[in-house]
Amino acid sequence: MCGIVGAIAHRTVTPVLLEGLKRLEYRGYDSAGIAVLDQDHTLLRTRRIGKILELEAALQQAPLVGRIGIAHTRWATHGVPSERNAHPHVCRERVAVVHNGIVENYEALRGELQAKGYEFTSETDTEVIAHQIDVFLEQGLPLLKAVQATCGVLRGAFAIGVISSAHPRELVAARQGSPLVVGLGDSENYIASDVFALVAETQRFLFLEDGDTAVLTTDGVEIYDAAGAAVERPVHETRIAADAVERGEYRHYMQKEIHEQAIAVEKTLDGRYQGERLLDEAFGDTAAAIFDQVRNVQIVACGTSYHAGMVARYWMEEIAGVPCQVEVASEFRYRRHVVQPGTLFVTISQSGETADTLAALKQARLIGYTHTLAICNVPESSLVRESELALMTRAGPEIGVASTKAFTTQLTALLLLVIAIGKRNGISKEREVAIVRELHRLPSQIEQVLRLEPEIVKWAENFGDKKDALYLGRGMHYPVAMEGALKLKEISYIHAEAYPAGELKHGPLALIDDQMPVIAVAPNNELLEKLKSNLQEVQARGGELYVFADVNAPLESMAGVKLLRVAEVNDVLAPIIYTIPLQLLAYHVALIKGTDVDQPRNLAKSVTVE
């Protein structure tokens, strides 16, 4: 994974690089580093273990001054987080490289390079890139050609930025499978893993394609395709605002993002209707004709986005009456498929850069899925660019690693998709209008459920010393339970599992004792009675029950159960509402545990490696 940034200018680039790194910290935060060429073309490098603040402090003590430089924030893949393994990696004080991705054949290359006398100082796969470029420079190749030749021997996915003391007026970049954008400034140019990293400097971008290499100077940018031919890539103007995202009155971004959900959902819905009828154009100009042909839906995603897909499967089959399958992207991409004719291939991703989801999309096209649609939060992302149709969730930047508003806006967007497909498949105008009316009430219902926070804070106090927790739900609330369990494990480090409540007796019941809190989601739907029986099975075994239940759910008779009442909500929309108290519970448990809520250990927000 990791985030990379680079710049070439007529001024010192260190502030640009540092600001870029801060904006890329969501991609990894176990160590960071920067390398510049100073006015004598000497390669200078500073690296620090820990967050970017540590690097910033080191640079305040000993500034690096240079008009060309590269920088990196790391999420360890090969080698522990340490200063030694932090990027940039250098070769013979002559070449410095930052890398995002994985070099799959690094062991073989390392052997060959060691045989040539190159010494390795890290355990990373990246260091081979620096040495390999040096091999080609030694043969007399210019920097661009040396980088291109190196890309030719690397296997795997990578985006790299390279500087060399032998070529001090060029910053060279290459992209193969990992994201990389080029920012165009005024007599200065930049590279970065995403647009957001550079919006404080420029709004003008070129998106490199797989196989592209680029040479950046202060005068301009030249791009070459995989065959080495000069190519033009279109310039895009971004609408992403330059202002850094503020935490405001909130203690963490995650808390802020939980509380932004009403507004975020309102934005997801905005302009997507005319009166009470959904506009197909919201999905793209060709959406109407494509939706007419849809007979089946295949959803692919990772993490929280996968949970959104699982809820959508219930909706798609129940409301639209269209068969729907959901699979995690890392599984989808490595198995054989029977492609049903008329299938719409739907990817869901907050970032639009998740490597497995992108690879699954590519794979899907190769094996014959003809129509693709992305539900995504980032308009400039690779996923959106590579999909035929897209629906933006408009959640706004999500900084907390544990996804919250991205999830509820994904669900909202998915419901729009379900309606769009359902309309062609017999869903009545009345049903459509009824769901749309409920959707418009959603923001105020979100505000209402957020008011449970003080009571959830009290519940959270019981979780501080717990090692495990079990989440239960039935029907479309099973994926909600999964999302609740994921939130708890991500940020509080308490082991949490989710089960469809009916499965309890087939194993997990053995885990129940007075040390195992069981959290259940109990809306007042047709499965409530069944769920109640499952909860009684837990109670009979001394389990401690925490139940989020509809105001009207008849659960009073269950003595000793901790109950929090959620205002009445339409069945279809209940998964969106019931997710929110689970987010709050995880957040407040994490506060009690004193973890790093926004940047939990070992994780990153956007996983751009397999």
* Catalytic residue set: 2, 605
Q: Give 361 or 561: the residue with its C-beta nearer to ligand G6P.
A: 361
Lateral strand order in the sheet of 221-224: 89-91, 95-103, 156-164, 171-176, 213-216, 221-224, 230-231
Of the ranges 144-152, 270-278, 298-306, 576-584, which one interacts with ligand G6P (CB under 6 A)? 298-306
What 3-state class would DSSP assign to 562? strand
The answer to whether the CB of 252 falls within 8 A of the CB of 400 is yes
Instruction: Give yes or no for residue 480 binding ligand G6P (CB under 6 A).
Output: no
Report the nearest approach of ligand G6P to the CB of residue 374 (Å): 10
Q: Give 12 or 606: the residue with its C-beta nearer to ligand G6P.
A: 606
The answer to whether the CB of 3 falls within 8 A of the CB of 27 is yes
Near ligand G6P by CB under 6 A: residue from 413, 603, 608, 609: 603
Q: Give 31 or 350: the residue with its C-beta nearer to ligand G6P.
A: 350
Instruction: In whole angstroms, give the CA distance from residue 559 to residue 539.
Output: 9
The answer to whether the CB of 202 falls within 8 A of the CB of 244 is no
Near ligand G6P by CB under 6 A: residue from 28, 303, 484, 500: 303
The number of residues in the chain equals 610
Near ligand G6P by CB under 6 A: residue from 137, 481, 607, 609: 607
Q: Which residue is nearest to ligand G6P (CB)?
A: 303
Near ligand G6P by CB under 6 A: residue from 31, 124, 202, 403: 403
What 3-state class would DSSP assign to 220? coil
First to last CA, the chain: 9
Q: Give 23 or 605: the residue with its C-beta nearer to ligand G6P.
A: 605
Of the ranges 97-105, 131-139, 301-309, 556-564, which one interacts with ligand G6P (CB under 6 A)? 301-309
Q: Give 164 or 305: the residue with its C-beta nearer to ligand G6P.
A: 305
Q: Which residues of 43-72 are buried (b: 16+ CB within 10 A; e: fewer)?
A: bbbbbbbebbeebbebbeeeebebbbbbbb
Instruction: Give yes or no for residue 305 binding ligand G6P (CB under 6 A).
Output: yes
Instruction: In whole angstroms, give the CA distance from residue 306 to residue 98.
Output: 31
CA distances from 405 to 303, 305, 481, 483 (A): 14, 11, 16, 13
Instruction: Give yes or no for residue 605 binding ligand G6P (CB under 6 A).
Output: yes
Q: Give 2 or 520: the residue with its C-beta nearer to ligand G6P.
A: 2
The answer to whether the CB of 601 falls within 8 A of the CB of 473 is no
Of the ranges 217-225, 299-307, 420-428, 449-457, which one interacts with ligand G6P (CB under 6 A)? 299-307
Near ligand G6P by CB under 6 A: residue from 126, 164, 238, 357: 357
Of the ranges 81-89, 127-135, 455-463, 598-606, which one interacts with ligand G6P (CB under 6 A)? 598-606
Instruction: In whole angstroms, give the CA distance from residue 565 to residue 582.
Output: 13
Point out which residues bind ligand G6P (CB under 6 A): 302-305, 349-351, 354, 357, 401, 403, 603, 605-607
